[in-house]
Amino acid sequence: MAEKQVMIFALDDSDHSFYALEWTLDHFFPSPSTSSFKLIIVHAKPNPTSVIGVVGPGTTDMYTMVETDIKKTAQKIIDRAKELSKSKGVANVACEILEGDARNVICDAVERHHASLLVMGSHGYGTFKRAVLGSVSDYCSHHAHCSVMIVKKPKPNN
């Protein structure tokens, strides 16, 4: 059997993201044992400093608290993803929690694993937020050196 291609699924904590993961499991792994992909779920957790701002005297406790909270949240997200994958019969899933800006973390993971496909949910940022922050999916669809699938959650009236 040919070596499986690597699919990176970039997961955040949004409903969009979990909808996208379910869609991916249903459409790319309908028969998990014969799928041509190996699934790696990547979650980018923020750096505590990026959450609380500048670290200085008197912020050590807050830094530790925030760091612990970020770790717990990230683990919960990954646990939920593993459970969802298992419920769809996709047991052989690798998961990575990585620290940093999601755009860099995701594109780096694509390179490191020589992925041929990156899948992510659409984040539905409004125009303002998109213009200010840039959009993770926009950035990755331009910069990731592989095919990119953006899964959008259908609107209720569709």
- Give contact residues for a second copy (rule: CB under 8 A): 23, 27-28, 30, 36, 114, 116, 122, 137-138, 141, 145-152, 154-155, 158
Q: Give the H or E element holding residue 55.
A: none
Least distance from C-beta 147 to a second copy, angstroms? 5
Residue 63 or 139 having the CB closest to a second copy:
139
Residue 55 or 131 having the CB closest to a second copy:
131
Residue 95 or 117 having the CB closest to a second copy:
117
Task: Tally the residues of the chain.
Answer: 158
Cβ atoms of 72 and 48 within 8 Å: the answer is: no
Least distance from C-beta 157 to a second copy, angstroms? 11
